[in-house]
Amino acid sequence: MSDMKRRAFITLLSGAAAWPLAARAQQPAMPVIGLLDTGSIDSNTRFIRPFRQGLAEIGYFEGQNVAIEYRWAEGRYDRLPQLAADLVQRKVSVIAIPSSTPASVAAKNATTTIPIVFGVGDDPIRLGLVTSLGRPGGNATGINFLTAELGAKRLGLLHELVPTASRIAVLANPTDQVRMTSNIKDLEAAARAIGLQIHVFSASTIDEVDIAFAAILRERMHALLSIPDAFLGTRRVQLATLAARHALPTAYPLRDYVEAGGLMSYGTSLADAQRHVGIYTGRVLKGEKPADLPVVQPTKFELVINRSTAKALDLDVPGTLLARTDEVIE
């Protein structure tokens, strides 16, 4: 082979080898979801599954055609603004908050341009996340779990299960001041309507949970209502254990508490709501604008009772209440 032909052949091979690299370079970058949450990866693996399921229904699969950057506050609400700012600096395609009111507010405060899909338990209009439910009008939309609005219903169910209990303790996390204030205001009105007294006790650390229970016993409370909160959710086993040890009938916002040994819960089907956050996130990635996607309110609620815990507390579940129960855990 002549030198001229040899050089032409090598040039041809070099060009062919570069074709795949050039083709890959022209492919669009994989979109990135920034997932922000108040808790930790260990405590919140339960919501990642339905969130991913919702994404999959729209055609997005983590690691294949979408990447997810996780930011966990580890129960420290004061870290949320910095974590949200980090995702904004990362220039993620969308910020998703499957289940956290404080994280949703932090994300909204961090950006007015990056799309946000939230899951919150309080009124998103009152939180300043949207201007209206039907036409959010800004860069955020999502689902409202209605956990705050369901507090009165939860109190009524607890009263139905334990009709002799008139002094009701309410356990709240003071670091989530917005939720604490709105929940207590609604509960006070509901309690007055059925002749009950509520007394608020605060806890934002593991030790403070123990201290709160000691105060609840000292004040001779008859029953306990736990306000929806990410930190208290991570302490559900501790709460259920203390309630059982001190024979204190307790109502919770989510079924996870009852699965951990709690007495009863009433609230939104959280898995279904978190799945919908995944669906909306996928729709935003496909080009729909949060301003045009109405905030969804759940239609599926569940009453769950742990019959073993009821027996241990020497409580007879009324037949009328049992008939309305969605699931009985033995």
pLDDT tens per residue across all 330 residues of the chain: 445 444 444 444 444 444 444 444 445 689 999 999 988 776 666 778 999 999 999 999 999 999 999 999 987 889 999 999 999 999 999 999 998 889 999 999 999 999 999 999 888 998 999 999 999 999 999 999 876 568 899 999 999 999 999 999 999 999 877 778 878 888 999 999 999 999 999 999 999 999 999 999 999 999 999 998 878 888 999 999 999 999 999 999 988 899 999 999 998 888 888 999 999 999 999 999 999 999 998 877 899 999 999 999 999 999 999 999 999 998
The maximal CA–CA distance of the chain, rounded, in angstroms, is 104
Q: Which of 140, 38, 327 is nearest to 132 (CA)?
A: 140
Task: Report the residue count for the chain.
Answer: 330
Are the C-beta atoms of residues 105 and 178 closer than 8 Å to each other? yes
Question: In the block, which residue shows the tokens 């996130």?
Answer: 281
Q: Which residues contact 119 (CB under 8 A, 6 or more apart)?
A: 97, 98, 99, 100, 104, 142, 143, 145, 273, 274, 277
For the chain, the first-to-last Cα distance in angstroms comes to 85
Residue 43 is predicted with a pLDDT of 61
Q: What is the pLDDT of residues 194-241, one digit of tens each?
A: 999 999 999 999 999 999 999 999 999 999 999 988 788 889 999 999
Residue 320 is predicted with a pLDDT of 93
> Strands of 250-252's sheet, edge to edge?
197-202, 167-172, 223-226, 250-252, 264-268, 301-306, 327-329
Residue 124 is predicted with a pLDDT of 93
**What are 42's two structure tokens?**
């260990």
Residue 159 is predicted with a pLDDT of 96
Are the C-beta atoms of residues 72 and 40 closer than 8 Å to each other? yes
Q: What is the pLDDT of residues 263-301, one digit of tens each?
A: 999 988 888 889 999 999 999 999 999 999 999 988 778
pTM: 0.74
**Sign of the alpha-carbon dihedral angle for 155, 159, 162, 165:** positive
For residue 255, the Cα-to-chain-centroid distance in whole angstroms is: 13
Question: In the block, which residue shows the tokens 């300043």?
Answer: 128
Are the C-beta atoms of residues 141 and 293 closer than 8 Å to each other? yes
The one-letter amino acid code at 222 reads: H
Q: How far apart are alpha carbons 60 and 66 in whole angstroms?
A: 6
Residue 183 is predicted with a pLDDT of 83
Instruction: Annotate 104-136 with DSSP letters as a single string.
Output: HHHHHHH-SSS-EEEEESS-TTTTTS-S-SS--
Residue 18 is predicted with a pLDDT of 46
Question: In the block, which residue shows the tokens 């009701």?
Answer: 168
Residue 27 is predicted with a pLDDT of 54
Residue 75 is predicted with a pLDDT of 79
Residue 256 is predicted with a pLDDT of 87
Q: Which of 317, 324, 318 is nearest to 302 (CA)?
A: 324
Q: How far apart are alpha carbons 143 and 280 in whole angstroms?
A: 9
Identify the bridge partners of residue 252 per DSSP, sorted by sequence position.
265
Burial classification of residue 164, based on how many CB atoms lie within 10 Å of its CB (0-12 exposed, 13-18 middle, 19 or more buried): exposed
Q: How far apart are alpha carbons 100 and 39 in whole angstroms?
A: 9
